Chain A
Amino acid sequence: MEIVLKLLNNYYYFVAMVLFVIGFHTMLTHSNLIKKIIGMNIMDTSIFLFFVAIGYVRGGRAPIIQEGAGYQYINPLPSALILTGIVVAVSVTAYALSLISKLYAHYGTVDADEIALIRAREER
């Protein structure tokens, strides 16, 4: 019961973890490379969700200063971090996709297992 309550209180963290596991699992188990990259994106966004949830102050407002208002703001630092994180994630995605299309040109498939098979056959 206690655990359920704890979960209810921290449901953002919980959802973030669930998404992380889904993303991680997709990345590890699917042999399709594009699927892997989507999994990577899910994994990354889940961590960003986690970050945002850390910075969230209940009842706080977005950290945009307006004159003369005494609001309580949410922590802006995680947002700054996530922005950087998104940049990184997008660049990795883009790079991975360009690699994948080149791999397709060479192997005719985007499936990691099939590529490994082709490689194994070649080396024999």
Chain B
Amino acid sequence: MEDIVVRAVSRLIVPFIQLYGLYVIFHGHLSPGGGFAGGAIVASSMILYGISFNLEAGSRKLSHDLSSLLESGGALWYLLVGLIGILLGSNFLANKIAGVPLGTPGQLLSSGIIFLLAMGIGAKVASTMVTLFYSLSGGEDSDGNRT
């Protein structure tokens, strides 16, 4: 797809999509959406970039090393945050009960660990989806078939 219109539009629109994705990720506890949906939106922006320019250029933006680091790291982050509950003397993934400060309702920092969890999920989902897309479309060696 070497179309100038597509390139120009997507160059313009990709940052906004990404911003929206991040917004969805970070406001998961306030508005519809969350880590998963937001991660998917971020991923689709990157995929859009990859499609409209070319796949090599796209995959250079998110290297294999980084994406696999994000994939594993996101999941590990989730588990580690979950352990906070146990460390605070309550159960796994415990939030308010464990005494995590919640903040004021309606604000960005108002949900204790959910905010942190969403970050992990968002990073993992975005990187996984991108890796999957590139491996499916033959951009690189295919071993990204896990979620």
Whether A and B touch (Cβ < 8 Å) is answered with yes
- Chain A positions within 8 Å of B, measured between CB atoms, are 62, 64-65, 67, 83, 86-87, 90-91, 94-95, 97-99, 101-102
Pairwise interchain contact A87-B36, C-beta atoms closer than 8 A: yes
Pairwise interchain contact A94-B32, C-beta atoms closer than 8 A: no
| A/B interface sample: 23 pairs, CB < 8 A | A62-B32, A64-B30, A64-B32, A67-B105, A67-B106, A86-B36, A94-B129, A94-B132, A94-B136, A94-B145, A94-B147, A95-B145, A95-B147, A97-B136, A98-B132, A98-B135, A98-B136, A98-B142, A98-B144, A99-B145, A101-B136, A101-B138, A101-B142
Chain A residue with the shortest CB-CB distance to B146: A95
Count A/B pairs, Cβ under 8 Å. Answer: 35
Which listed residue, A64, A95, A101, A102, touches B31 by the CB 8 Å rule? A64
8 Å CB interface, B117-147 against A: 129, 132, 135-136, 138, 142, 144-147
A83, A87, A98, A99 interface centre (most CB from chain B within 10 Å): A98
| B contacts with A: majority SS | loop
A115 to chain B, nearest CB (A): 19
Q: How many residues of B contact A (CB 8 A)?
A: 18
Complex-state Cα separation, A80 to B109, whole angstroms: 21
Pairwise interchain contact B147-A91, C-beta atoms closer than 8 A: yes
Complex-state Cα separation, A93 to B129, whole angstroms: 12
Which listed residue, B31, B36, B138, B146, touches A83 by the CB 8 Å rule? B36
> What are the residues of chain A within 8 A of B50 when measuring CB–CB?
none
> What are the residues of chain B within 8 A of A98 when measuring CB–CB?
132, 135-136, 142, 144-145
Given contacts A94-B132, A98-B142, 6 further A-B contacts (CB under 8 A): A86-B36, A94-B145, A95-B146, A98-B132, A98-B135, A99-B145
Chain B residue with the shortest CB-CB distance to A63: B32
Pairwise interchain contact B31-A65, C-beta atoms closer than 8 A: no
B34 within 8 A of A: yes
A42 to chain B, nearest CB (A): 19
**1/0 contact string of B25-38 vs chain A (CB within 8 Å):** 00000111010100
Chain A residue with the shortest CB-CB distance to B30: A64
B144 to chain A, nearest CB (A): 8
Complex-state Cα separation, A101 to B143, whole angstroms: 12
> What are the residues of chain B within 8 A of A62 when measuring CB–CB?
32
Complex-state Cα separation, A97 to B134, whole angstroms: 12
